[in-house]
Amino acid sequence: MNGEFTMRKICLLTIALLTITFVIHYSLILMHAAPTNPISAKYNNLSSTYTSTIFSQNWHLFAPDPINRNVHIYIQVTDDTSKDTNNHWIDMTRHFIKNNNDKVITPYNRTIRLIDGIFADTVGSNYTSDLITKYVNKNDEDDDPVVDMLTEHKKSSQEKGEYSLYRLASSYIRSFMSDKYISMKYLRVRLTVYETVPFSKRNDKNYERKIEYNKTFNWKEISEVSQMY
């Protein structure tokens, strides 16, 4: 009798633990993957830490709009930041695009998508949905807690994006550039976004793409990171 009672308690306890785990797990997943709202913004650090241990994803995976930008990362390396190196920029994005196009199965496809995600983080464009953005832009109150929360969330996204940007650039230097560059100490990054070529202009070789975003970041030390491939 006691054995049956103990077994029943174990079963009920197991069911309760599984239910609690299920609720917590999917609550964190929903807060991370759904469009940003005041609740997900408040618990963003918790949900991001939890989900990033396994995968990284957001609502924009399901966006119906086609790609409307081409993000390029340009880098410079030097041992002396006082030197004028403004004319010598290396387009590291072109390397990934070429290798992705040359191979059917390749990790470069993932890297190319990573570049676009880093850009979105850097400018803070993926920190919220269009609906929340409209709310923030139209709200004139000085002490709106929702606006304050989302502003802080956007700042966190931008810091994360810049950190990831320099980590990716440092890894590229150590993986694909010659010893001449690897031995250098400092790195600078430029993010440039070009519009996509309109379908009607696809055969026009003289068509010049508009630059929609262009920012040069400060010099930083090259990070000690692992090689990519």
How many H helices and E strands in the chain?
A: 8, 5
pLDDT band at 10, cuts 50/70/90? confident
Q: What is the pLDDT of residue 180?
A: 75
Mean pLDDT of 127-135: 58
**pLDDT single digits (tens) 21-44:** 999 888 888 887 777 677 777 777
What pLDDT, on a 0 to 100 scale, did the predictor assign at position 5? 63
pLDDT for residue 132: 61
Assign 175 a pLDDT band (cuts: 50, 70, 90).
Answer: confident
Give the pLDDT of residue 178: 78
Cβ atoms of 81 and 187 closer than 8 Å: no
Confidence of residue 133 (pLDDT cuts 50, 70, 90): low
d(CA 70, CA 5): 64
Question: Is pLDDT at 11 greater than 80 in this prediction?
Answer: yes
Question: What are the backbone dihedrals phi and psi of residue 61, each rounded to the nearest 5 degrees, phi first?
Answer: -60, -30
Residue 197 pLDDT = 84
**The pLDDT value given to residue 142:** 63
pLDDT at position 2 over 70: no
Find out whether 27 and 40 touch, Cβ atoms under 8 Å.
Answer: no
pLDDT score of 190 more than 80: yes
> Which residues on neighbouring strands pair with residue 90, listed in sequence order?
75
Q: Integer distance in angstroms from the first to the last C-alpha of the chain?
A: 61
Greater model confidence, 224 or 140: 224
**Residue 97: C-alpha distances to residues 92, 94, 203, 226 (Å):** 9, 5, 20, 21
pLDDT reported for residue 131: 57
Among 164, 181, 185, residue whose Cα is nearest residue 173: 181
Whole-angstrom distance, CA of residue 195 vs CA of residue 115: 16
- Output the pLDDT for position 217: 93
| Mean confidence (pLDDT) of the chain | 79
pLDDT digits (tens, 9 = 90+) for 70-118: 899 999 998 888 876 667 899 999 988 888 888 878 878 778 888 888 8
Q: Please give the helix or strand (H or E) that residue 215 lies within, else none.
A: strand 211-216
pLDDT at residue 127, rounded to an integer: 54
